[in-house]
A and B are shown apart, each in its own frame.
Chain A
Amino acid sequence: MSHDHIVSPKLYLGVLAILLVGTALTVAAARVDLGGLNIVVAMSIAVVKASFVVLYFMHLKYSHRLNWVFGAAAMLWLALLIGLTSTDVIARLTE
């Protein structure tokens, strides 16, 4: 009857460990002065953490393709929203 992919608790524990290590890494990386790269490192770690949550905790990895399309659409519009806003701000500051 049920065609669900059942993720093993071991895999969930692995994801939990990755997320906790990622949080510790974020705090540690902020203590090193990398100048403008600090925000890049912090956001990269956050994106990796979020990807693990989406793929495994939210089951997107085993989910219908249509859900992938909508997830990708959200990321595209978010990138446009933040990206285009940023180009405006950066252009004004470098005038």
Chain B
Amino acid sequence: MSDQATTLAPQFEGLAQQKESAIFGMWVFLVTEVMFFGGMFAGYTAYRYRFHEAFTAGSDHLNLLLGGVNTAVLILSSFTMAMAVHSAQLNRRRALIVFLVLTMLLGSTFLGIKAVEYSHKFHEHLLPGPAFQFEGADPQHAQLFFSFYFAMTGFHALHMVIGVALLAIMTWFAWRGRFSAEYYNPIEVSGLYWHFVDIVWIFLFPLLYLVGHHG
């Protein structure tokens, strides 16, 4: 009973209602996130249609191998996150901590590979701005492609950093024994966020890396 008193907020009738509210609240937040990224996706779609040649030339400068490996790493991290929630549901504290740490490691691997890619782009003068240099028919609109590339992957990476920080806090809570099979809402809600960030990348990868890889 004392356990329930510490996890049930007074405005809810019971733990089930509290959990449904937490999950629903997260879905509402994720809808706003869809709109946030949606604006960039809409802009990208319009300019890619308008300047297809330049976007193809720009995309050819991205490293398909690193992008592909990162896609696999992120998908794997979504699996370990799902397993973390599964462990929480079964009240397996040790497994929960292990899967949370694995998810953070995979997320950090993604960010590390992303940092390597960014540093390549800096050295190749592909960062939009006064230092931008591009050998091609339409450097001005290739620069536009890289503006979208850095804005979209940058905001995605920011979401990843926030996600890793969130999971670090969750790991600390799990370590302190704050979760049980009856109460693991923060783990479930963190999982929803993590999977959403994975979905954004599932669309970013083909849109940015695979514009012109024909034949």
Residues of A with Cβ closer than 8 Å to B?
1-4, 6-7, 9, 12-13, 15-16, 19-20, 23, 26-27, 30-33, 38, 42-43, 45-46, 49-50, 53-54, 56-59, 63-64, 66-67, 70-71, 73-75, 77-78, 81-82, 85-86, 88-90, 93
A58 to B31, CA, bound (A): 14
Minimum Cβ distance to chain A for residue B138 (Å): 16
Give the interface size bracket for B toward A.
Answer: 35 or more
A33 to B41, CA, bound (A): 24
Residue of B nearest to A82 (CB): B42
A56 to B82, CA, bound (A): 9
Classify the secondary structure of A's interface with B.
helix
Residue of B nearest to A85 (CB): B42
Tell whether, in the assembled complex, residue A82 and residue B203 are in contact, meaning their CB atoms are under 8 Å apart: no
List residues of chain A with CB within 8 A of the CB of B35.
Answer: 74, 77-78, 81
Given contacts A7-B86, A50-B199, A64-B24, contact A33 B42 (CB under 8 A): no
Considering only residues 37-79 of chain B, those with a C-beta below 8 Å from chain A are 38-39, 41-43, 45-46, 49-50, 64, 68, 71-72, 75-76, 78-79
Minimum Cβ distance to chain A for residue B42 (Å): 5
Tell whether, in the assembled complex, residue A82 and residue B82 are in contact, meaning their CB atoms are under 8 Å apart: no
Residues of B with Cβ closer than 8 Å to A?
15-16, 19-20, 23-24, 27-28, 30-31, 34-35, 38-39, 41-43, 45-46, 49-50, 64, 68, 71-72, 75-76, 78-79, 81-83, 86, 89-90, 181-182, 188, 191-192, 195-196, 198-199, 202-203, 205-207, 210, 213-215
List residues of chain A with CB within 8 A of the CB of B196.
Answer: 58
A38 to B19, CA, bound (A): 42
A9 to B38, CA, bound (A): 32
A15 to B198, CA, bound (A): 14
Minimum Cβ distance to chain A for residue B159 (Å): 15
List residues of chain B with CB within 8 A of the CB of A67.
Answer: 23-24, 27
Minimum Cβ distance to chain B for residue A35 (Å): 9
Tell whether, in the assembled complex, residue B210 and residue A66 are in contact, meaning their CB atoms are under 8 Å apart: no
Tell whether, in the assembled complex, residue A89 and residue B46 are in contact, meaning their CB atoms are under 8 Å apart: yes
Residue of A nearest to B183 (CB): A2
Minimum Cβ distance to chain A for residue B94 (Å): 16
A-B pairs with beta carbons under 8 Å apart, 22 shown: A2-B182, A3-B16, A9-B83, A12-B82, A16-B75, A16-B76, A16-B79, A23-B75, A38-B214, A50-B203, A54-B195, A57-B79, A57-B191, A58-B192, A70-B24, A71-B31, A73-B31, A77-B34, A78-B41, A81-B42, A82-B45, A85-B42
